[in-house]
Amino acid sequence: MKSLLTLSVFLVLIKEDNGQKPVVSLQPRFPQVYVGDDVTLICKGGRNPTKWVINGIEQPHQNYVMLLTTVTPHNNGQYECEQNGEKSDPVTLTVLALEALAQLSPSVGGSVITKGEGRNLVLKVDDAEELNNWKCFAFRGESEFKFDGIDVNKKMKRAVIFAELRDAERATFWCMNKNATHRSNAVTLKMTDKLVMLEPPAAPALLGDSVALRCVAWGAEKVEKATFYRNQTKIDSINADTYTIIAKQEDTGMYYCHATFRYSHIDPAAAEKEGDSDAQYIKVIDGPPAANISASGNTLKCFCPKCSDNCTSYYWYYTPSNDMYSRSRLPEYRKTIKASKEGLYCCRMNCGKGFSRFSQLYSHRGQSESVNVWPVILGLLLLVLVLLIAALVAVKRRRQGESSIQAAKDKDKGGDAAVLLHSG
């Protein structure tokens, strides 16, 4: 009797477990998802096969983890998963066609690192004094981790975190302010265990932008020759390590490189080596709208024709000519400003939950050069006028002198004539 009761309870537990409703989890837990982010959807329960349904359409993907790379608004919609006949509630993914407030980027290199290594990521925000109020996170595998702290360099106006994959094949890193109202862009690093690796940029490949694909060999000073492939088809072979494309939609695909190299810094007579890299997926997307600058003298105007009506204020930035790493935001929110200092200017629009892309850099020569032109011109004109007047006065005096001399001569001639007549 006791055995039957135990068996009944066991069967009930199995039934309840099998009937547990799955839940879709969206990772990382971004306050907003921006164009270019990598997003992971997890059907909690961890069972395979898992059925995925996106906007009512069943997908061929059957793993309980779904990775969406370099997302765009085309990924927007309702995501559901189903396990053991039980369907989850839908989760909505909304990708904003905007950029994040702060910028996170590798100090060197691209998005691929060798197994066991890490890379410094540099965080820059508009107000460098607020860097102490930012915190950074990593998403590895299926878990999210918080960094104990960030290394703030007030002199350089930036913060640094050391990003490492540990045992994960890929990881996503990002930072947020303490109120979770703003965050940086997300940087995804991927692991390779090969000697040769293809390093795409950590930033998304945006339509029309220059995208450099670098083929490197671990431990070698340089690659003597690299051959690049897209979707198994050779695209170029160069005696250098970098292949650059101007991104078009048709450039989307799987890329890898074949490198020829030597460890000549160890042994000048080192033998030639060669090898292939892992394939890396490059997805070309149409990014957020970009601002533009027009200039008339020292008057700069920011505009963004493709920005939405939510983009209502303007952010202006200035970089001194002698310090290209010290960009700062100006206390201006208007469409038009006066450039008063020599240096580089750029702008972008604040669109509420995000920002437009930065405009091109505008180089201004400085107020002193533009303002002092008119005094110089007026001075030259005044000098010419004075010289002209002096010349006219000199000519007039000369003519008057010549007239007096002529009159005197005429008088002398008249006197001589009178004397002759009198003597006659």
Assigned token pair, 134: 């930012």
What is the pLDDT, as a whole number, of residue 420? 38
Q: In 183-222, at which residue ranges do the beta strands (DSSP E only) sit? A: 187-192, 196-199, 205-206, 210-217
Residue with tokens 């995208």: 211
Assigned token pair, 332: 């201006």
- Look up the pTM and report it: 0.79
* Other CB atoms within 10 Å distance of the CB of residue 315: 20
Q: Are residues 312 and 350 in contact, defined by beta-carbon separation less than 8 angstroms? A: yes
Q: Are residues 217 and 275 in contact, defined by beta-carbon separation less than 8 angstroms? A: yes
What domains does the chain contain, in order, with CATH numbers? Answer: 22-96 (2.60.40.10), 197-288 (2.60.40.10), 292-371 (2.60.40.10)
Contacts of 236 (CB under 8 A, 6+ apart): 227, 228, 243
- Cα dihedral: 81, 82, 87, 91 (round 10): 0
Rounded Cα distance between 261 and 225, Å, is: 7
What is the pLDDT, as a whole number, of residue 46? 72
What is the pLDDT, as a whole number, of residue 374? 58
Contacts of 142 (CB under 8 A, 6+ apart): 27, 40, 42, 65
Stretches where the chain sits below pLDDT 70 are: 1-19, 324-325, 366-377, 395, 399-424
Rg for the chain, CA atoms, rounded: 37
Amino acid 94 reads T
What is the pLDDT, as a whole number, of residue 19? 59
